[in-house]
């Protein structure tokens, strides 16, 4: 079955960067886009963007351009998202998702806490 | 960006009852290819969202027929009949017709 396994929680300082991973299994990694979604504590969902694992092509929500960078490692079926110049407003759970239809399958999320 | 407005914000329902959630879009969600990319998700407490309905009215794999979606253009509805305890949580609509993709603000379904 399709699984997306994300890396663990991060506590980072303001101004720093963080890189999280999303390892896919149960399907051919290059078949579907990997999407990234942000959820602030107790809040709704925001679409950050997507990356095509086969081609490496990316599509970012304008709001997150310069903040988020997507990469993939096809050899390990893993997608990565790096967030830079972190501020307390970046404190959120970050999900990866994938699928043929919409955001069919979701990872368990990575809690990123930005605090000095 | 397309704004999706969900109503109500919260819903108190008795077990076995019926719930109806509205999702209204600031623009038509009909894509140039004729498809309408409006989807529904449920986020149970402490869990990741899960896909319930895709493209307005299609149930995702394993989703019971108690869940149904309808609508067109800018107005969409999710109905849940015979509400069960595992249906509780926050429901979100998502549009992917226009970039950037956007979510509704969510509707919290709670037991009366």
DSSP A23: E
Task: Suggest the residue from A45, A49, A65 to mutate for an interface test with chain B (most B CBs closer than 10 A).
Answer: A45
- How many helices and strands, by DSSP H and E, does chain A display? 0, 11
Residue A99: pLDDT band (50, 70, 90) is very high
Alpha carbon of A113: minimum distance to chain B alpha carbons (Å): 17
- Whether A47 sits inside 8 A of B60 (CB atoms) is no
Q: For residue A57, what pLDDT is reported?
A: 96
Closest of A111, A78, A95 to residue A12, by C-alpha: A111
Q: Which tokens hold the place of B89?
A: 């949580």
Closest of A63, A59, A74, A82 to residue A7, by C-alpha: A82
Task: Suggest the residue from B101, B102, B103, B106 to mutate for an interface test with chain A (most A CBs closer than 10 A).
Answer: B101
Residue A81: pLDDT band (50, 70, 90) is very high
pLDDT in tens, B43-91: 999 999 999 999 999 999 999 999 999 999 999 999 999 999 999 999 9
Alpha helices for chain B (secondary structure H): none
Closest of B52, B1, B56, B31 to residue A103, by C-alpha: B52
Q: What is the CA radius of gyration of chain B?
A: 13
DSSP B30: B
Q: For residue B112, what pLDDT is reported?
A: 87
> Distance between CA B87 and CA B1 in Å, rounded?
30
Alpha carbon of B83: minimum distance to chain A alpha carbons (Å): 23
Strand order in the sheet with B67-72: B4-7, B19-25, B75-80, B67-72
Residue B102: pLDDT band (50, 70, 90) is very high
* Chain A residues with beta carbon closer than 8 angstroms to that of B104: 44
Residue B99: pLDDT band (50, 70, 90) is very high
CB pairs under 8 A between A and B: 53
Residue B24: pLDDT band (50, 70, 90) is very high
Alpha carbon of A61: minimum distance to chain B alpha carbons (Å): 5
pLDDT in tens, A15-43: 999 999 999 999 999 999 999 999 999 89
- Whether A101 sits inside 8 A of B60 (CB atoms) is yes
């Amino acid at each position: 079955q399709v699984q997306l396994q994300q890396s663990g929680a991060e506590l980072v300082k303001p101004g720093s960067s963080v890189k999280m991973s999303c390892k896919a299994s149960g399907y051919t990694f290059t078949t579907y886009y990997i999407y990234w979604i942000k959820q602030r504590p107790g809040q709704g969902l925001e679409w950050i963007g997507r990356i095509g694992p086969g081609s490496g092509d990316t599509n970012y929500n304008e709001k997150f351009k310069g903040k988020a960078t997507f990469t993939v490692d096809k050899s390990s079926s893993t997608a990565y998202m790096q967030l830079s110049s972190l501020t307390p407003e970046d404190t959120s759970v970050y999900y990866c998702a994938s699928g043929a239809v919409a955001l069919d399958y979701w990872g368990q999320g990575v809690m990123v806490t930005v605090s000095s | 960006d397309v704004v999706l407005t969900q109503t109500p914000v919260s819903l108190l329902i008795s077990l076995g009852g019926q719930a109806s959630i509205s999702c209204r879009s600031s623009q038509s969600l009909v894509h140039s290819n004729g498809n309408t990319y409006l989807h529904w998700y449920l986020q149970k407490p402490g869990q990741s969202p899960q896909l319930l309905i895709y493209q307005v009215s299609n149930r995702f794999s394993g989703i019971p027929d108690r869940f149904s979606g309808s609508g067109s253009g800018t107005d969409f509805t999710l109905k849940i009949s015979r509400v069960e305890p595992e249906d509780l949580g926050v429901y979100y609509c998502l549009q992917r017709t226009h970039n950037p993709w956007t979510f509704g603000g969510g509707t919290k379904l709670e037991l009366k």
